[in-house]
Amino acid sequence: MNINKIIIDISEKNHIRLTHQRKKVIEILISNSNRHVSAEDIYTLIKDKDDNIGLATIYRTIKILEDKGILIRHDFGNGEAKYEFVMKEKEKHDHLICKQCGKIIEMAGILPENLNQKVLKEKGFYCKEFHLIIYGYCDECNNVRVNQSVHSKVKY
Amino acid sequence: MNINKIIIDISEKNHIRLTHQRKKVIEILISNSNRHVSAEDIYTLIKDKDDNIGLATIYRTIKILEDKGILIRHDFGNGEAKYEFVMKEKEKHDHLICKQCGKIIEMAGILPENLNQKVLKEKGFYCKEFHLIIYGYCDECNNVRVNQSVHSKVKY
DNA sequence: GTGAATGCAAATTCTTTGCATATGA
DNA sequence: TCATATGCAAAGAATTTGCATTCAC
């Protein structure tokens, strides 16, 4: 199935009117589904292809796709939302973020299998999406840390 | 241990110079440690007590407390950071957020015990903080959803 | 043809920063 | 005393909105 067919498929299944701009946004999202992209990223990637689009349109499109569950929004805590295209085939994964260098490492299979039932039973809550972010230190940064001192003596 | 003593304790342990404003911020955080408060919330709560403080000071204080690990920052995806005072005694918990009404339910004991070792072994990553947010539907909203139709026919 | 989408610029919201003044240790 | 914190207002960054124009169906 080529990318054009996939896009048409998405738009029809989700009742999204397919404009030139929306097509471009979805195209970029699909071809970058291995990354986390911001609205600005999408904007730049489209501009790079000598295509014109307004940032506002991107924000509006993103919101629709998110509503439809086609796009997952991540807040990694730097004040900029990142988006990830949902591929059925792709394994769900969580994110490890280094507090020192900001690197994001993906890791799958962290959460237990039976979480949905557990949460439903205990809290009457129907789980749809699990967002687990683990903050800590990656290997390299941790080595630097232990060589220096972990507890800063800096006076504020 | 009264609240004043606790605040002095925090400031000394963490080498934070104790100003009138910082005292106020910490005081508000402690007395609202059962909630998630934003910078604006803290500002309003202090103003309500007929005390004066600048928003900038609150942001600066928050940043220090977060650096010191006294405060946990949560990004719940509405563009506003929320903070939670860390009480040693308080059990760590995760958050269930209803996609419909926005309600936040706290739940403890979701994550497995041995995560630190697992992540370290698999990815060489040293875990410090676990932020698990589960998006879904609370009991009430889910009832409404199943009575209506789950899939919107609205054309965008 | 017509209601809905777009682009632009202006408006909003949250957060940060520069600088003169005030203050805690 | 004196480095550091504060308040204010201005700057920044991300996102949203109003409105005239354009476009998909």
Q: Give the model confidence (pLDDT) of A31-83 as tens digits.
A: 999 899 999 999 999 999 988 999 999 999 999 999 999 999 999 988 999 99
Work out the average pLDDT over B80-104. Answer: 87
CA of B58 to C1' of C14 (A): 13
Q: Above 60 in pLDDT, residue B149? A: no
Q: Above 70 in pLDDT, residue A152? A: no
Which nucleotides of chain D does any protein CB come within 7 A of? Answer: 4-10, 13-18, 23-25
Which residue does chain A place closest to B64, by CA atoms? A156
- The pLDDT tens digits of the residues spanning B39-82 come to 999 999 999 998 899 999 999 999 999 999 999 999 998 899 99
d(CA A55, CA A4): 23
So where are chain B's domains? 1-89, 91-156
In CATH, what is the architecture of A91-156?
2-Layer Sandwich (3.30)
**CA proximity to A134, closest of B123, B90, B61:** B123
From the list A81, A107, A132, which residue is nearest B122 (CB)?
A107
Q: pTM of the predicted model, to two decimals?
A: 0.84
Q: Above 90 in pLDDT, residue B102? A: no
Collect contacts of A47-56 with beta carbons under 8 A, ≥24 apart: A49/A24, A51/A24, A53/A21, A53/A24, A53/A25
Q: Which residues bind near strand D, taking a CB cut-off of 7 Å?
A: A 11, 17-20, 38-40, 55-56, 59-60, 63, 79-81, 155-156; B 17, 19, 21-22, 52-57, 60-61, 79
Structure tokens at B1: 């241990």
- The pLDDT tens digits of the residues spanning A85-106 come to 987 767 789 999 998 888 899 9
Structure tokens at A126: 């129907």
Structure tokens at B13: 């342990």
Question: What residues pair up with A84 in beta bridges, in sequence order?
Answer: A72
Q: Cα–chain-centroid distance for residue A51?
A: 24
Specify the pLDDT at position A151: 44
From the list B111, B132, B138, which residue is nearest A125 (CB)?
B138
CA distances from A56 to A22, A62, B53 (A): 12, 10, 36
**A79 CB and strand C closer than 7 A:** yes
Specify the pLDDT at position A89: 63
Specify the pLDDT at position B152: 46
CA of A26 to C1' of C4 (A): 19
In CATH, what is the architecture of A1-89?
Orthogonal Bundle (1.10)
What is the band of B156 on the pLDDT scale with cuts at 50, 70, 90? Answer: low
